Amino acid sequence: MSTPSPLYWYTITPLDILMFRDAKPFKPGERAWAGGDVFPPSGHTIAGAVSALLNRKKGETYELKGPFLCHEQTLYFPRPFNYVGAIPLVPLDWDGDNPLKGQMVCDDTKPRPLVKPFSAPKIDDKDDDKQSVDYLPYAVIHDFVRDGKIAPNSWKFGVEKPWDIETRSHNALQPGTRQVKEADGYFVEKAIRLRDGWSLAIGLDRDIKTPVVLRLGGESHRAILERCDALNEHWNVLQHQSESHQKSSDLALAYLVTPGIFERIQKRKTPDNGSRNIAMCRAYPWEWKPNNLVSVATDKPIPISCRIQDQDQKQSIPAPQVFAAPPGSVYYLNKPQSLYAKDPRAKPGEALKKAKRLIKLGYSELLWIPYKPFETNGGNDHDQLLYGDQS
């Protein structure tokens, strides 16, 4: 097995707003809204900016990690979706003597339902079930990956989305009047403005002399690319912990920290009794079967606008969009299992090459976490929640 290339970590600090259009076609007059609030940007967007900066040669590829959010040289990760307030959800099958087991009818071919642990304290105040935190700092995620838990008082270190969405309208007037053109005269764009002190962070297998100006997004807005070696240490610690847990045969969680593209080509019948290949995306890997994948905590999918090289390999052109599982998704498995793209036993072919390309673009990055049963030491105070063996 080849030794992976070393990663160099960088921050990307916008000098102005950023604009990232969604995957829907746009033409003024036909669709008044140009772009969505997709942020952080996709791996394709970051790779395109880096390729332009380094003047990428034909056939040259990069290995990318991220993008993540960064504040004061600290990585921030999306909050895990398997928490309701400070209480972690658990698959029904794993929750001891939960009385719901005898009352709920489930499809054994699909992920099992998630429930609050039967032993969890009963909270009357509905506000306690709300979780306004969107991102958690490295220190909290470090403990989560190491110990399989997020301490109740750790949520106070989280932050809401550290950016603002600005709506900008564009008008074109009819010549000699103050009236907006009826055709192609009006459209609206959404822009992202990161708050002071925040930046994006990426890991890259290229040593770039910085600081340097990077052109990012659909309108090529300027951002400063700067080296940040402190992030390399953070990432290496998380990777070491994750790889250690992945070698275990015990119950495990897989925590998705970048958008997960899980796509498979399937044959579907057509009205003329023929068939055609259709790309299908879903919220969890196709290679994880029901006998191992127990449950999934996720949210609505993220549309990703991809690009490919044209037949002459002269320029990139839009490719069909895909739908990615959002970062923060958590998967419950009976034992850790590699992704298809990282499985040494995977069958060679175009499907494997495509899956590996997506991994190199930073998609489907998982951190493996040990599963800890939920326990309490009595009382209803959140500070008294425990997870597994505390000795």
pLDDT exceeds 60 at position 121:
yes
pLDDT digits (tens, 9 = 90+) for 35-73: 556 789 999 889 989 988 998 777 778 899 999 999 999
Among 84-98, 120-134, 249-263, 372-386, which is the least confidently predicted range?
372-386
pLDDT at 61: 84
Q: Which residue has the higher pLDDT, 86 or 158?
A: 158
pLDDT at 172: 55
Helix (H) / strand (E) element for 146: namely helix 138-147
pLDDT at 380: 42
pLDDT digits (tens, 9 = 90+) for 248-306: 989 999 999 999 999 988 888 777 777 888 888 999 999 999 999 999 999 999 988 77
262-272 core/surface letters (b: 16 or more CB in 10 A; e: else): bbeeeeeeeee
pLDDT digits (tens, 9 = 90+) for 207-245: 999 999 999 876 778 999 999 999 999 999 999 999 999
Neighbours of 47 (CB within 10 A): 21
pLDDT digits (tens, 9 = 90+) for 168-216: 765 555 566 555 455 554 567 778 899 999 999 999 999 999 999 999 8
For the chain, the average pLDDT equals 83
Contact 142, 239 (CB under 8 A): no
DSSP state of 292: T
CA atoms within 13 A on the CB side of 66: 26
Task: List the one residue out of 365, 348, 341, 390 whose CA is nearest residue 201.
Answer: 365
| CA geometry: angle 187, 192, 193, nearest 5 deg | 130
Q: How far is the CA of 51 from the CAs of 45, 63, 82, 217, in angstroms? A: 10, 12, 36, 13
| CA–CA separation, 44 and 224 (whole Å) | 19
CA atoms within 13 A on the CB side of 9: 20
pLDDT digits (tens, 9 = 90+) for 355-391: 999 999 999 999 999 998 887 654 444 444 544 443 3
Among 1-10, 47-56, 59-68, 141-150, which is the least confidently predicted range?
1-10
